Amino acid sequence: MSPEREIVVLCGAVSPERDVSLRSGRAVAGVLPGSRLVELDVNALPEWLNGERHVVLSVIHGDYGEDGAVQADLAARGIPFAGCDAAASRLCIDKVATKQAMRAAGVPAIPEVAFTGEARPAAAALVRELGPRVVLKPADKGSSVGLFVCADEAEVAAALAAIPATGRWMAERRLNGRELSVGLLEGRAMGVVEIVPLTGVYDYRNKYTKGSAEYRFPAPLEAPTTAAIQRAAEALFAAGGCRDFARADVFLEPDGNFYFLEINTMPGMTETSLMPKSAACVGLDFSALVRRMLAPALQRARGVRLT
């Protein structure tokens, strides 16, 4: 760790994911002795942050943290920071744009229907295009915020009626099979984690309630399947212009085909989070993972060129 710079862990801010971000920030700061934990109450940087004295590790999820805003603010003030830059963050928070990047890179992605809250499609039209089992979600949120999982046209109609008349949304065919996730460090895939919700689907509550899901890490998969998922995750990391770290989510269907859902530029770092479980598969405990996530930013701050 750089002795001449103070490590600042940013968390909180104003978004639907604030509480999770606070938990991530406290966990991360807890394994970085001498770091300063800053719990933001507004979507703006503290005035005292200084590019000559500080290096930032932001664990702000969702708005301000993953949409490129905090990254742009840090870059504008010359403050070195860990994680993806503003351009990659803006791309990857947009699930529709990310899926376009996936397809261009040859990463498997299922078709989607994108729409706005003001101009939502009819339920019958979505069912004709995607089938009766449909997932509706915001196009630019994380942590399964605003997720609707529908089993038939009536549930699709109810979900469409419930969404706000604002914002950008998307619909996809509901996938069957096994839900998986893989963390990446400096573009290299770590272990594949399998998520098994004990009830229902892996929604916001199940993600952040201890004991609501089982996790298998490494996921019990055939070696060629694991390797194929890891290669595709690395291709997605590159296609998104990511740097330092990220986490990609993927579904494996019973026929052996897998489809990536998204890539997260600021993965959760709570005790139930997937990124630490992926790291554990390659022998990294939580403290070692955090230090690996931070290391490239420290090298950039010292002017060391990474190869």
Q: So which residues are the catalytic ones?
A: 17, 143, 208, 247, 249, 262, 264, 268
Contact of 65 with 91, CB cutoff 8 Å? no
Q: Sign of torsion, CA 59 193 142 89?
A: positive
Euclidean distance between CA atoms 4 and 2, whole angstroms: 6
Strands of 148-150's sheet in order across: 112-116, 168-173, 134-138, 148-150
**Among the listed residues 3, 2, 1, 7, the one whose alpha carbon sits nearest the alpha carbon of residue 35:** 7
Token pair, residue 61, equals 């999820």
Contact of 30 with 22, CB cutoff 8 Å? no
Q: β-strands 213-216, 188-197: how paired? A: antiparallel
Euclidean distance between CA atoms 66 and 91, whole angstroms: 10
